[in-house]
Amino acid sequence: MPRPSIYWSEAGRRAVRSWYEDRLADFPVPVESTFVDTRFGPTHVLRAGPVDGPPLVVLHGLDLNAAAMVGLVAPLAGRRRVLAIDTIGDPGLSAEVRPRRSGPAYADWLADVLDGLGLDGPVDLAGFSFGGWIILKLASYNPGRIARLALIGGGGLTWLRLRGQLVMAGAMLRHFAVGSGRSLRAAVRPLYGPGLEADPHIARLLGLAFRHVRPDPTLAWLPPHKPGTLDHLPAPAFVCCGVHDVFFDAHLLIDNARRLLPGLRVFESLPGQGHIPDPDALLALALRIEAFLDAGAARPGSE
């Protein structure tokens, strides 16, 4: 029996794809689109930066896609070959499949993508929120695939705050009761730091996802890794979290990162920032991630 689409309707799928095409048309750096085969179906990847640059794989958060990661992809593509992946089961261009969160499915999927991209050895990875959770899934089953990792937000390191989920659900419901662009930006604003405006493109995508994408009943069930499960991960790690993150407690996150990641080199609390860094903070963060990756490449294992 075929799996149901993640979308409520074909019109919803078209709306998301139209958003994607518009973002690619405005991408600030040249970008290529490709698909790789996996055991879970085709996976779409955006490629940017010099072909001979050191590869960096980027994974987005829930209800986003690779095109939404432009604020990280563009600055890092100056010297690196950035490979931004559309996660399966999210509103991008990859297979509309949602594997079980328990077990190795997401680790197997990411390993298949790396194989399809010709990345056989350890590679640098950066993940935002759920993207970080997927990277740590790979780390728990196949740590040898990871050279260095940068995690933005707390995916895989601590539980999602129930309060954050309720705040966002309530805000989106209020938006659909009003139905204006202003109400959409207000609905997404809790994802950002106090006084910061929501990125209008991100707001639009999240609004489309809330309206057109079937809810995932396992969304709230993203258990953090238990102590000891990542002890065999030697890769140097960079972790950051907004002080005002509505989903993750930055203080708890740093405690867990220290306990769970033996290779933790850098932890940064981002003052004034929420779950999603604003454009200026994201640019500064990209530069710090690049410096972290450069230091690890120059002195393997000695950061």
The CATH number of whichever domain residue 48 belongs to comes to: 3.40.50.1820
- pLDDT band at 303; cut points 50, 70, 90: very low
Q: Among 138-142, 160-164, 257-261, whose mean pLDDT is lowest? A: 160-164
Q: Tell me how far apart the alpha carbons of residues 302 and 291 are, in angstroms, rounded to a whole number.
A: 14
Both structure tokens of 219:
């969304």
Q: Based on the structure, what is the number of domains in the chain?
A: 1
Buried b (16+ CB within 10 A) or exposed e, 34-69: eebebebbebbbbbbbeeeebbbbbbbbbbbbbbbb
Residue 241 falls within a domain, yes or no?
yes
Residue 204 falls within a domain, yes or no?
no
pLDDT of residue 281 exceeding 90? yes
pLDDT of residue 180 exceeding 70? no
pTM of the model: 0.94
Provide mean pLDDT across the span 32-50. 99
Residue 207 falls within a domain, yes or no?
no
pLDDT of residue 296 exceeding 80? no
Residue 89 falls within a domain, yes or no?
yes
Q: Tell me how far apart the alpha carbons of residues 115 and 297 are, in angstroms, rounded to a whole number.
A: 22
Enclosing domain of residue 262: 10-161+213-298
Provide mean pLDDT across the span 33-37. 98
Of the candidates 298, 290, 240, the one whose C-alpha atom is nearest the C-alpha of residue 264 is 240
